[in-house]
Chains A and B, each alone.
Chain A
Amino acid sequence: MTPAYDDLPALMTLMTGDEKHGASATSTLDVIWVLYDRVLRPEDRFLLSKGHGPMAYYAVLAAKGHITETDLRGFGGPDSILGHHPDRTLVPGVEIGSGSLGHGLGLAVGTALGQRLQGSHARTVVLLGDAELEEGSNAEAIQYAGRAGLNGLTAVVVDNSSASLGWPGGIARRFTVEGWSASDVDGRDHDTLERAFAAPGDSPHVVVAHVERKES
Chain B
Amino acid sequence: MMDQRERFYGLLPQLLGDDERLVAVLAEIGAGYIDPGPVADRVINVGIREQLLVGVAGGLALTGLRPIVHTFAPFLIERPFEQVKLDLGHQDVGAVLVSAGGSYDWPEGGETHMGPRDVALLDTLEDWTVHVPGHPDEAESLLRAAAAADGRVYVRLSAGSNTQPLATDDRRMTVLRRGSRGTVVTVGPMADRTLAATEGLDVTVLYAATVRPFDGGTLRATLNAPDVVLVEPYLRDTSTPQISRALQGVRHRVLGLGVGQEELRRYGTRADHDALRGLDEAGLRRSITAFLA
Interface of A toward B, CB cutoff 8 Å = 87-89, 95-97, 100, 102-103, 105-115, 117-118, 136-137, 140-141, 143-144
B46 at the interface (CB under 8 A from A): yes
A103 touches B83 (CB 8 A): yes
**Within the complex, what minimum Cβ distance (angstroms) separates A87 from chain B?**
8
CA distance A114 to B20 in the complex (A): 12
Q: How many residues of B contact A (CB 8 A)?
A: 29
Partner of A114, one of B41, B47, B62, B91: B62
Closest 9 CB pairs of A and B: A110-B59, A106-B55, A114-B63, A110-B56, A140-B49, A111-B59, A140-B52, A137-B51, A107-B59
B60 at the interface (CB under 8 A from A): yes
B62 touches A96 (CB 8 A): yes
A88 touches B23 (CB 8 A): no
28 contacts between A and B (CB under 8 A): A88-B92, A97-B86, A97-B90, A103-B55, A103-B86, A106-B56, A106-B59, A106-B87, A107-B62, A110-B55, A110-B59, A110-B63, A110-B67, A111-B60, A111-B63, A112-B59, A113-B56, A114-B23, A114-B61, A114-B64, A115-B63, A117-B60, A118-B63, A137-B51, A140-B46, A140-B55, A144-B49, A144-B52
CA distance A193 to B171 in the complex (A): 55
Which residues on the A side are within 8 Å of B54 (C-beta)? 106
| B17-57, CB < 8 A from A | 23, 41-42, 44, 46-47, 49, 51-52, 54-57
B49 touches A110 (CB 8 A): no
Which residues on the B side are within 8 Å of A115 (C-beta)? 63
A110 touches B47 (CB 8 A): no
Nearest residue (CB) in B for A144 is B46
**Within the complex, what minimum Cβ distance (angstroms) separates B88 from chain A?**
10
B58 at the interface (CB under 8 A from A): yes
B23 touches A107 (CB 8 A): no
Which residues on the A side are within 8 Å of B246 (C-beta)? none
14 additional A-B pairs beyond A103-B83, A137-B55, beta carbons within 8 Å, are: A97-B86, A105-B55, A106-B51, A106-B59, A108-B59, A110-B56, A110-B62, A113-B59, A113-B60, A114-B23, A118-B64, A118-B65, A140-B46, A141-B52
